[in-house]
Copies of this chain bind each other. A is one copy, B any other.
Amino acid sequence: MLTVGIIGASGYAGVELVRILAQHPRVGRFVLSSTSFEGGMIESVYPNLLSRVSGELVKPEAVVAQSDVVFAALPHGVGEPFAALCIEKKIPFIDLSADFRFGDDEDTFAAWYGKKYVKPELRPLSVYGLPELNRAAIKKASIVGNPGCYPTGASLGAYPALKLGLAGSGTIIIDSASGVTGAGRSPAQNTHYPDCADSLAPYKVGGHRHVPEIARNFQAMSGKSVPMVFTPHLAPMNRGILSTLYIPLAKPLGAVSGAPRPASAEIEAAVKEIHAKYADFYKGEPFVRVLPYGQIATTRNVRMSNYCDISIHSDQTGTVLIIVTAIDNMVKGAAGQAVQNMNLVLGFEETEGLNAIPAAF
């Protein structure tokens, strides 16, 4: 049984790792750290864990020293020294920050995150941990840069369209909304209940840090630079990211009417074909569910699970492919995907510990 270390266990991503891994059949013990609550007990910070997980919050160095695998759920730019310690100790390091998402493209990281790599020499040992894109490489990696929440939903939605050449050269629009857990545990004005309940609020319009990560994934998927625009919104819900992707098609799905008219039967038939291609593309992927034709992805159907649900649509003119994806931002968008990466790195069954069925309500 593994001893699992989590650096930054008192944040939302950290404690979600605890919740998931406490039910993982290979995990025997935790070593947890927290800067904010060092010396305290994790079950005092999160009373939901009472009688199930108990652990003193120690220093991060102690985490590395005692663990067989280490997760870091830290702010960007502070975890690299612990990665180096893990490399030295020859144990895997799975990082939930952006530090290892950009490989050797330090310039892009620096342009968006405002800091340079602390230990650039670690990059050749690292891989971007989107299993559906990089599974083989992840299995051999020592360090995994776990994807951002928005990039996970956006990238899985566009992948088949980019890979199969359905997408044209036009700009892909990604309009996403996240539940408030995406903002983390620290109280702030915009996550104060009365400020975000019963309201919908875009933020960082045109300039969110997930832009370069999505752009890089699109390039990896299509083999070329893909123009894209991404806008995140804060939605009054706890969990979930819904992404609506607008992908200009390489060729229209049918003859276009002069006046605005509902999609023709010709267009609908063509959408069905694209749906079949998507379903085929993701056949065998344990955590991607291409919904039956006619259904629409919603966040409630993936809540508390590691699934990414995808539905396929077209606009009324058959010129824009509309893809909707839904994930639980804390699971497939963070801790669940990190566990999926751990399973790959350690050679376990990819789905171990990730069998939770979504709770529709």
Contact = CB atoms under 8 A, between A and B. Distances in A.
Interface of A: 12, 15, 19, 22-23, 46-53, 107-108, 111-112, 170-171, 173, 175, 177, 179-181, 185-189, 191-203, 205-207, 211-212, 215-216, 225, 227, 229-231, 233, 235-240, 242, 244, 246, 248, 258-263, 289, 291-292, 295-305, 307, 309, 311, 313-317, 319-320, 322, 324, 326, 330, 355-361
Given A195-B300, A233-B244, A357-B19, A261 B111 contact: yes
Contacts of A192: 185-187, 191-193
A235 B199 CA distance: 9
A225 B199 CA distance: 33
B171 A248 contact: yes
B227 A319 contact: yes
Q: Classify the secondary structure of A's interface with B.
A: loop
A205 B322 CA distance: 8
Given A187-B191, A227-B319, A298-B202, A112 B180 contact: no
B194 A238 contact: yes
Contact of A200 (B23, B108, B177, B295): B177
Contact of A300 (B108, B198, B330, B358): B198
Most B CB contacts (10 A, CB to CB) among A202, A225, A248, A289 go to A202
- How many copies of this chain sit in the oligomeric assembly? 4
Contacts of A12: 194, 361
A201 B239 CA distance: 13
A197 B238 contact: yes
A47 B196 contact: no
A200 B46 contact: no
Nearest to A330: B361
Given A180-B197, A193-B193, A262-B111, A315 B206 contact: yes
Contact of A48 (B191, B230, B246, B358): B358
Contact of A199 (B170, B231, B300, B319): B300
A357 B49 CA distance: 7
